Amino acid sequence: MLQSILDFLCLSFLTCFEFCVIINIMSIFRNLCFLLLILAVPSSAVEIAQPQPDLDYETVGLFHREISNKGCEKNTPGKVHRIPGFRFAYQQTDMCEYYYPSHTALAFSVFYIEWSVKFGDENNTVKNALDELMVEYNSYQKKISRIYSIDGEYRPGPTVINGLTSENGKYIFVWSGTMPGRLYDTSLVHELVHVAIYAYHGGEHGDPDHEGPQYPGWTAEHTEFIKDTNRILEDMDL
């Protein structure tokens, strides 16, 4: 009797074991079939579609969009407008389309950041000068005498100029051109360098002979600085 019971238990155990083995084999076979099915699908069918660039586009013109304010209320010619972000800085222009005070403010900010990195600004001397600056944009050039070229050459006779810094560095004139373009194409950054040098010399002079030897302040580094800063403004479409 005991032997019969033992035989039955052994048979039952083997049956359960075999059943578990079969179940495991079926599970492995199922997973294998699923894997083969995935591998059989063409790769193009499982690739995630990537957005393609739209090659048919137009420049946004972030800073020089079409003028919607035909009345020029925000930039009335001949009227003084405050330059935002600079306490007592103002501008005026004879053309309402160019340049908006926001354009000037952004150019001032780029200039000051680059100046601080390149030359520093102890006691916020240059920042304070920008805060009290008057900018005049005009579509007409000026003609003056007794000026210097960038390399220090003296020009005693009347010369047509594209920009001017005067009144102890408190005023700059910038020729916008008859068909105004971008600020990087004007003398704005050049004049701001004069403003900074005026500030460092207590308003005595802004180094009118530039890289010439008669006045201290302007060096070849400043000339290169103007080019670098204008390249940044160009990249910004400003």
Q: Are 144 and 164 in contact (CB under 8 A)?
A: yes
* Residuewise pLDDT in 10s, the chain (238 residues): 544 544 544 444 445 445 444 555 555 556 555 444 444 444 343 344 444 444 443 333 444 444 444 457 667 888 899 999 999 999 999 887 788 999 999 999 999 999 999 999 999 999 999 999 999 999 999 999 999 999 999 999 999 999 999 999 999 999 987 666 899 999 999 999 999 999 999 999 999 999 999 999 999 999 999 999 999 999 999 9
The answer to the question of residue 67 being in a domain is: no
The answer to the question of residue 123 being in a domain is: yes
The answer to the question of residue 37 being in a domain is: no
- What gap in Å lies between CA 43 and CA 40, rounded to an integer? 9
- What gap in Å lies between CA 98 and CA 179, rounded to an integer? 10
Q: Which residues form the domain of 216?
A: 73-235
Decide the pairing of beta strands 163-166 and 90-93.
unpaired
The answer to the question of residue 27 being in a domain is: no
The answer to the question of residue 170 being in a domain is: yes
Number of domains in the chain: 1
The answer to the question of residue 53 being in a domain is: no
The answer to the question of residue 51 being in a domain is: no
Query: How crowded is residue 220: how many other Cβ atoms within 10 Å of its Cβ?
Result: 11
